[in-house]
Structure 1
Amino acid sequence: MRLHSRLAAIAATAAICLNAAAQDTPAIIPLPAKIETSDGTLKLPQTIGYSVAAYPGDSIATVMQRFIPDFEKATGSKFTESDTGAMLTLSIDPAIGAEAYRLEVDSDGITIEASRPAGFFYALQTLRQLMPYEVSRSSASLPFVTIVDKPRFGWRGFMLDEGRHFFGKDEVKKVLDMMAAHKMNRFHWHLTEDQGWRIEIKQYPLLTQVGAKRKSKSLGWAQLEPDTLDYDGFYTQDDIREIVAYAKDRFIEIVPEIDIPGHTQAAVASYPEILACDPEKPHEVWRYQGVSTDVMNVSNPAAVKMSTDIIDELIPLFPFPYLHLGGDECPTDKWEQNSQCRAQLDSIGSDNFRDLQLNFYRQIAAHIAAKPKSEQRHLIFWNEVLHGNTDMLPSDITIMAWIGKQPAEKAAMEAARRGMNAILTPQIPYYINRRQSKLATEPVSQGAGTENLEAVYNYVPMNGVPAELADKYMGIQANFWSEYVITPEFLEYLMMPRLSAVAEAAWTPQECRDYTDFRNRIRTLKPMLDAAGWNYAPHEFVNDPDNQSAIDAD
């Protein structure tokens, strides 16, 4: 039976969900919205012909070309473009949503339909997971399956903090590959911190000459003193352009974050005469974890101008709709002691020092709004900005809700009620830099090990959101803060497979999600993770993840 007749039967029903009992159903992550299997397999010949529908710029053909090496590695077959008798056919259906697709494998071959390159890209990610990574290439085959798929949320994000520790261009590309394999589409790149400024700004070279360096590799915390090793790293603007192009090829938008006016001690140390509330005192790039009180002087016009100058350099580097300006954990101590800040607070008719921060953002937003439309950006903030007079801000801002108790995270609900868009990124359990196990062998990081795979998976986005507010929720995001995480291997170990759990929440209908079934599928996909060369937490791939002897024996 060919694609349209099979799909009509599926589309007429509610979502057909996998469950733990469906042992013969293919292991796909994130789980497709609708899936149907039938008896039989498609044996893959030594040469597989494929045909691709014409599309402006040949972008669908380009998408296919990027998958061929993985397909050939997994199957041993040679993929070649063919005008007639193709086993794999990519066809356009304009009625399908931009990120949606249909895929069928039957005795006639493999058929993929989508309307846009992104849909074909995600369909091929699904096909990649169907490929037989652990069988003899002489018997490689695909199961008969029909899939109708689309994402639950438009925003499916992951944030990487490189302000504390710098991982480099190759690792960022690897992270983007991990995201793409999971159909995630927003890379939130946290590029500035108290502990380091990681992006070249040509108008202010000291930001990297001074701000990208510090006298400690590991950061101090509580009784733990920082070491005295020289540590540095930043991305040139050419590096940024290369990574942006790499992300675009994977249908990922990059959301750069320049965290201002808090978390700015590295910038203040670089230009204290412009940014410091007390420029007469010494300032250095911070060597500790936690929240520094050495924040920008938001009442200094020169500091405002420097901020807009930085944004002017960022915008052409990141040709995407969103810009994140931070806004979290900004102590007001130094503003309270600064006569310039106190005078400005009086001038705006407020006694809440938090309003100085929002007045600062108001000036930046006005600067961006005056740009040509192609250079304007929607602003994103952490939810602490809700503590001030948000009437100063544009009406189209987005709040990332990281702290606040359910339902649906209190801060997100407050933002939605005020008419703002919201992205759910709850610290517990979506900060996947935290320890994921109570095993004695778990490396030191934040948390007590309770943010394990099951806890991450079982979080229910938008639980309790009233119907009238639902359209304000853009999606979900996992965050990764790097206070303790120094190496790429440790980064990947903590990311995987918890990133898979977040990706499934972002893509799959809630009624289709089941943790036991997910664990079965993630184990089945272990050969694909190994083939990709990704590090991951091994204890989640054994029957008893809390048993160290079982892990050692695996």
Structure 2
Amino acid sequence: MIRRIILTMAFLASLSLSAKDVNMGSWQIVPLPQQVKEMSSAPFRITAKTTIYYAAGDEKQKKDAGFLASHIKEVTGIEVKTTNRQEKKQIRLALNTGDTRSEAYSLVVNKNGITISATSHVGIFYGIQSVMKALPITKNVKSVSLPAAEVTDAPRFAYRAFMIDVGRHYFSVPYLKKLIDVFAMHNINYFHWHLTEDQGWRLEIKKYPMLTQIGSKRKETILPTNKNEFDGVPVSGYYTQEEAREIVKYAADRYITVIPEVDMPGHMLAALASYPELGCTGGPYEVATRFGVFEDVLCAGKAQTLQFAKDVMDEIMDIFPSEYIHIGGDECPKNRWKVCENCQKKIAELGIQELPKHSKEEQLQTWFMGEIEKQIRNRGRKMMGWDEILEGTPSKDIIVCGWTSVNASIRSAREGHPTIVAPISNFYFSNPRINKIEGIPSIQRVYDLDPCSDKLTPAEQQNIIGAEGCIWTEWVKDAEKMEWELLPRLAALSEVQWTAKDKRNLENFFPRMLHMQDLYRLYGLNYKADIEDAVKKHLEEKK
């Protein structure tokens, strides 16, 4: 009898221990999948005996299985193995002929395992991301569980981007890789890399070595407190072409395309300081120590300037395989062109006439950009530009990033351009005025904007190909400030980019956002604590 009691007590103790060991995850993740059907059957337990299956000979699946195994260990402490042998209970990656949308995936979870299936490797990758975010964050346990469910998912927009400006301040290759990992966590598929500015040229161009020898350095930077005070601290740094290719490869391994931007014909003081003959006056020029818009821009009337731009584009396209090449086109004053002999001669040569809506100089910029577009198109690529390019009469093939306002994107879509919605009012994360917005409104301004404005007809809405967030680095020179501006607002943006409009709900988003912030802490990322505090208080009051 005593022996039976002892055995019974041991059995009950083991049940209690098992209950402590099991931690349940949730499919309430960011971005919210299009369809989650939770089942009443038993969950799938992940233990040290769990394996992740990938097809033999499929190197991409093998790599992605490794990503998932690494993340499981990071968030739970459980070390699982990858294998190309099928077993009874495991996590399986499977290419199939189901949903033909390239980034679509499905998840089937039951007590026997998790099957992540898609018609493409990128679809499987996003399924893996969902599993990673569904896991409970815990340590020192023998197992964790994920609820039985069927998940069917695909992104709303094909273009989901974030832009980082390295022209004003340089960020190292390892740190950019860290940001790329953050983008992957949020289902971002384009990293828009803003490489040149008045304040610094950041990419090696071998035909024009002075761009980095001179243009990558400025002697100091204006202080934010006073327009006439400077910090006296030199700023420098640039990426070799090999480093740029390294970034491209790292991003591609996470199914992110790097879009390079060389902003022209404005924002070119760093280039003019390096090669003064490219300007209208011949200089002398200096790499800018202030921020803003400057009158000195590339001279659109000189043949050598156009050749310079084409040469730079050729080297850019040799480095970056991206379908899209961004050439800026924003904030280009025409004052120099109006009095420049070369520019006025080119205007006359082209037969440009003043139009009611477009000055001769605006049309000269349209011609200049059009010549660059030909260069890009001849290489089988597509040109992107900011919405100021609409001031002329640009080709309908040009992809327009609407930044100046929501109305800029509406205008672009109405005029028939493939359009990216990136308004300063909602999707700029570094605007000093907007960054004063705190707490829930800081998230709400991002979350509540729908890229497909109801002012557009259904046909015009088809021209909206996606949305993009931006961080400009005038006042961002370190990782802490970068991440503070980025997170958790990137979580809100990712749901705008991925999740169907009718599935989005701010109240539902808040608890899922808090789980993302737990992940940020796990990975040592900084984020805006005032948002977390306000959301926790709000949720507590709603109980």
Tell me the TM-score normalised to structure 2 length. Answer: 0.88
Query: Is 1:355 matched up with 2:355?
Result: no
Q: Distance in 2 between matches of 1:240 and 1:133?
A: 34
Which residue does 2:331 correspond to in 1?
A: 329
1:363 to partner: Cα distance: 1.7
Greater mean alpha carbon deviation, residues 99-108 or residues 297-306: 99-108
Query: Is 1:34 matched up with 2:35?
Result: yes
Q: Distance in 1 between matches of 2:67 and 2:27?
A: 23
1:135 to partner: Cα distance: 5.4
CA separation of 1:378/1:210 partners in 2, compared to 1, >3 Å: closer, same or farther?
same
Q: Distance in 1 between matches of 2:223 and 2:205?
A: 25
Query: Is 1:253 matched up with 2:243?
Result: no
Q: Distance in 2 between matches of 1:537 and 1:132?
A: 22
Other structure's SS at 1:146 match: strand
1:247 to partner: Cα distance: 0.5
- The match for 2:448 among 452, 458, 466 is 458
Q: Distance in 1 between matches of 2:25 and 2:53?
A: 29
Identity, in percent, stands at: 33
> Which amino acid is the alignment partner of residue 105 of structure 1?
V
- The match for 2:417 among 406, 417, 420 is 420
Q: Distance in 2 between matches of 1:307 and 1:52?
A: 46
Q: Distance in 2 between matches of 1:138 and 1:60?
A: 26
CA separation of 1:136/1:142 partners in 2, compared to 1, >3 Å: closer, same or farther?
farther
Which residue does 2:304 correspond to in 1?
A: 302
Q: CA offsets, 1:47-95, max 9 Å, x none?
A: 112322357x532222212221111232313223133324111222222
- The match for 2:532 among 527, 538, 541 is 541
Task: Please give the residue correspondences for 1:301-320 in structure 2 after superposition, counting only pairs within 5 Å.
Answer: 301-320=303-322
Whether the 8 Å contact between 1:198 and 1:235 is mirrored in structure 2 is: yes
Query: Is 1:377 matched up with 2:417?
Result: no
Task: Please give the residue correspondences for 1:42-441 in structure 2 after superposition, counting only pairs within 5 Å.
Answer: 42-53=44-55, 57-75=58-76, 76-81=78-83, 82-96=85-99, 97-134=101-138, 136-218=140-222, 223=227, 225-273=229-277, 275-279=278-282, 281-348=283-350, 349-351=352-354, 352=359, 353-369=361-377, 371=378, 375-390=379-394, 393=395, 395-404=396-405, 409-434=406-431
Q: CA offsets, 1:368-392, max 9 Å, x none?
A: 34x4xxx3210001111111132xx
Which residue does 1:12 correspond to in 2?
A: none
Runs of at least 5 residues in structure 1 that lack an aligned partner in the other structure: 1-22, 436-444
Task: Please give the residue correspondences for 1:485-504 in structure 2 after superposition, counting only pairs within 5 Å.
Answer: 485-504=476-495
Other structure's SS at 1:121 match: helix
Greater mean alpha carbon deviation, residues 522-531 or residues 258-267: 522-531
Q: Distance in 1 between matches of 2:251 and 2:332?
A: 31
Q: Distance in 2 between matches of 1:396 and 1:510?
A: 27
Q: Distance in 2 between matches of 1:489 and 1:495?
A: 10
Which residue does 1:529 correspond to in 2?
A: 520
Q: Distance in 1 between matches of 2:48 and 2:413?
A: 55
> Which amino acid is the alignment partner of residue 297 of structure 2?
V
Other structure's SS at 1:526 match: helix
Greater mean alpha carbon deviation, residues 90-99 or residues 320-329: 90-99
1:543 to partner: Cα distance: 4.2
Other structure's SS at 2:147 match: strand
Which residue does 1:449 correspond to in 2?
A: 437
1:307 to partner: Cα distance: 0.7
Q: CA offsets, 1:282-311, max 9 Å, x none?
A: 210000111111101011000000111111
Which residue does 1:15 correspond to in 2?
A: none
Q: Distance in 2 between matches of 1:108 and 1:446?
A: 49
> Which amino acid is the alignment partner of residue 401 of structure 1?
G
> Which amino acid is the alignment partner of residue 81 of structure 2?
F
1:260 to partner: Cα distance: 0.5
Q: How many residues get paired?
A: 503
1:173 to partner: Cα distance: 0.7
Other structure's SS at 1:158 match: strand
1:219 to partner: Cα distance: 5.3
> Which amino acid is the alignment partner of residue 462 of structure 1?
C
Whether the 8 Å contact between 2:220 and 2:235 is mirrored in structure 1 is: yes
Q: CA offsets, 1:423-454, max 9 Å, x none?
A: 1001111001135xxxxxxxxx7654267112
Q: Distance in 2 between matches of 1:518 and 1:135?
A: 26
Q: CA offsets, 1:137-168, max 9 Å, x none?
A: 12422222221000000000000011111111
> Which amino acid is the alignment partner of residue 456 of structure 1?
V
- RMSD of the alignment, in Å? 2.1
1:471 to partner: Cα distance: 1.8
1:46 to partner: Cα distance: 2.0
Q: Distance in 1 between matches of 2:128 and 2:429?
A: 27
Q: CA offsets, 1:107-134, max 9 Å, x none?
A: 1111111111101110000100122212
Greater mean alpha carbon deviation, residues 42-51 or residues 221-230: 221-230
CA separation of 1:156/1:544 partners in 2, compared to 1, >3 Å: closer, same or farther?
closer
Query: Is 1:476 matched up with 2:467?
Result: yes
